[in-house]
Amino acid sequence: METGVDPKNLPVARRQGSLTLPRLTADDSFMPDCGRVSTALWRSQRGVSLVEIVLVLLVVALASTAFYAYLGATKKSLETLNAERPLNHARIAADLETLSAIRNQLDVYHAAHGQWPPSREVVAGLLSPAPRFQCAGNDYTYEPATGAVGLVIIDASHC
């Protein structure tokens, strides 16, 4: 057996034309000269197992399913709101027309009697049939001193 030196100055054992690499000891590392890595630490580190990868993929799949369902519900809610928006504006417009008819009756009363009706009950007696407002919960307000009338709900988003 003949001993030689390789180009990197590492001892190499030669046996009749074959090249045998030296055995690594516990102090040797596979890392270049950027610092020694403890062999015990290197041997204790393990890779990610297949079970861990499957669990992570399962959690991601469940989270994405829940997020997709949330987006679907949000989209459905927005479609419902957008579909009802024109109806709400139409309801407010109809209520404003009803209010205009009430104003006309008040103007007729004022012209005939020279004063505004003294109470809301008198105004209700003037209106036959009683006004029906399209927006749920809407009604008119009346100020006897000035004869001013108004709507309780004037915003279409609250209708």
Q: What are the pLDDT tens digits along the chain (159 aa)?
A: 555 555 555 555 555 555 666 665 655 555 555 555 555 555 556 788 999 999 999 999 999 999 999 988 998 888 887 777 788 888 899 999 999 999 999 999 999 999 999 998 989 888 888 888 888 888 999 999 998 999 998 887 777
DSSP state of 24: P
Determine if the pTM surpasses 0.75: no
Give CB contacts under 8 A, 24+ apart, made by 112-120: 116/144, 116/145, 116/146, 116/147, 117/142, 117/144, 117/147, 118/144, 119/144, 120/144
Query: Domain coordinates of the chain in residue numbers?
Result: 50-158
